[in-house]
């Protein structure tokens, strides 16, 4: 909802969060960025926003969309490629630390 986007995202961008994903279409995100710029948010902060959010898994249901978003968060955290493991060579898991 546009009336919540700006204040909530301004608050999120003030945190050290490593990932800030925002749902919506590319057009919605473009409009959102314009509102954030008008509110004084600078370009480096805007670059922290991930939108459209999620990986292209072919999701059709809300549950599948949630999986695609969770997958993007894991990819961001650990630096994965997002490619199928069957297409890759070498070790599947790299430097696992709790």
pTM above 0.85, yes or no: no
In a domain, 87, yes or no: no
Long-range contacts for 73-80 (Cβ within 8 Å, ≥24 apart)?
A: 73/19, 73/21, 76/18, 76/19, 76/50, 77/18, 77/19
On whether residue 39 sits in a domain, the answer given is yes
Instruction: Say if 22 falls within a structural domain.
Output: yes
Mean pLDDT of the chain: 92
Among the listed residues 64, 65, 49, the one whose alpha carbon sits nearest the alpha carbon of residue 5: 49
| Residue 17 lies inside a defined structural domain of this protein | yes
Task: Say if 92 falls within a structural domain.
Answer: no
Strand spans (E) along the chain? 20-21, 49-50
What is the per-residue pLDDT for 85? Answer: 87
CB 35 within 8 A of CB 3: no
Domain extent for 23: 2-81
Asked whether residue 98 carries a pLDDT value surpassing 60, the answer given is no
Q: What is the largest CA-CA distance in the chain?
A: 48
In total, how many domains does the chain have?
1
């Amino acid at each position: 909802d546009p009336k919540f986007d700006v204040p909530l995202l301004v608050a999120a961008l003030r945190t050290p969060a490593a990932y800030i994903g925002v749902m919506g279409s590319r057009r919605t995100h473009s409009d959102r960025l314009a509102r954030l710029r008008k509110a004084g948010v600078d370009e480096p902060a805007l670059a922290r926003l991930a939108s459209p959010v999620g990986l292209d898994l072919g999701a059709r249901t809300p549950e599948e969309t949630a999986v695609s978003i969770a997958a993007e968060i894991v990819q961001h955290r650990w630096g994965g490629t997002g490619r199928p493991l069957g297409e890759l060579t070498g070790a599947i898991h790299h430097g696992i630390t709790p």
